[in-house]
Structure 1
């Protein structure tokens, strides 16, 4: 089994250079290994008139500085149309259905490892690379997506929708490094972005309040905020603006007798347009023992065994892996039974499956069964 399919000979590899430190060091490592490296800066969103939201101009300036420092050619491309059609439209559709999507997962499949891959090939590249923290290995069965050395930064959760063709062409040079080592290498190279803060959240939202951004595309649909026993305690602006497990932003006071206890969003009752809040972080309505998903994507192209089978899963990035059993799975979806009840299983989010250190694939949560 080989951890580096490109180890035998030099390849023409194009790096997705974002302006951040991770992709910069990834490019350097490939140069160090003897590859012919070029870079591509992708603009995936048309900025607002107000500066500071999607800082593409500043990121492009950083990418240019890195390319100049490393002595590599930098190409630029605008994928805003592709992003809107293949990522953002789905993002809005999911919110309209009162679910909470993760656009980064779709962006990786549709933009960074599809549109970018096609563009890189057209420019003569034989493979692409990014600054993701993940590992790919290859054997007779194909490509395998695996956990990287830095468990705190591992990004396989966001890459679980990639397929065999995409992984065969992908390189993740940071697989063996911790983030602290990446920054140290950037300082050694004299890169201006060595201490640049990691990007968080979604580019097109930036520093603004998420609800303010979403309100530009989705109308308010007010409804009651209630306790589990049906007592009305306020009004919400629309179920799309809340997510399961959320603990602020409801505009309600404390419940009599327990004024200091925070409220948590536990149930979005779409049929009655109700938002149900609870005052216990592990209230039964927040805990789920079973998740029902949409159709699963398996990186290998097929499930890893006969049904049912055991594996581990995570419901969000950086969550410790949780033991589970997939009791059923077909074109309609999967039923996942957790060894321990899970908090805030959120419709629209991805559940990603693992066996040992291998990411098997994943699916989108549609609903869950309360542990009570």
Structure 2
């Protein structure tokens, strides 16, 4: 798909689907465009053509003082004048503004880097604001749209506001219509499926679910099969780890959410999930699964609490605390188990949608009324104290 030489509203890069000038209102804010580096480019073009500021000003029908201000970066031409200036120097608008693909990539990478800081800190609100800003700057870049969708997906509430739903649908549909990138399309399909499910539209959720690929033809399956050497071992180990985690959450979350299961049945499933997560490694590598195991013990504690079984509730809370503390410990390195020894961990680079660490999350759980009947127990107070000692100040 080509582009008009000086047509601002349709101007884009053929290779990367990145639109530069067009925005939600039709054009970018004037100042933000000129800051791209117009002043240096304009001066160099004028000197290469061997003309004075007066000559250029006469052609444009403005004062020489205005051209001087542009070249000093003290002022900016009206945005509608850019095509006329570009035509005069026989360049495209991108050459006039010195907008290169490398510059765009650098800018988007800066957004990604800052976004990862937000994700590791569990600062969902800041991450959403960051990608909203990026979307304002690159409103037609599908990568930016995808990252904005990802940030919105991190909202903790299951029932998301209607405006968030509308935004997700709008962004997802645009990606499916405009992008040919397989990863971006898959992420959009997944996000749309989850979004419609969260608002109770099962029909549309299933529509997008059916657009997904087969379990036997995912990138992870094929790479773990095709890749050789150390990289192949690492890819296969990561596939095993991720599949066990996915099965655990399918059983402990998706399955139990869909049926009317008894307390005993739910506890049985949660204990199965814990065994599954621990299966490929020993307690030496507990960091690999500690965060998720803490969540499942918390669910077990809830089930016992519903029946006011104090002993079993406290036992589950103590196990939850044990693994929440492990998950909250600082450190980085390789796991040691045979099935995971090519995988690395870094406690500072763990994505989360809550502030603090696993101990902060567990402390929030303990505030729920279900635990009021054991709140005065010494063992409960000990659990709270240990979590508070290992929680982060947020």
Larger-Rg structure: 2
Question: Higher strand fraction: Structure 1 or Structure 2?
Answer: 1
Same fold per superposition (TM over 0.5): no
Question: Higher helix fraction: Structure 1 or Structure 2?
Answer: 2
Q: TM-score w.r.t. structure 2 length?
A: 0.23
Q: TM-score w.r.t. structure 1 length?
A: 0.24
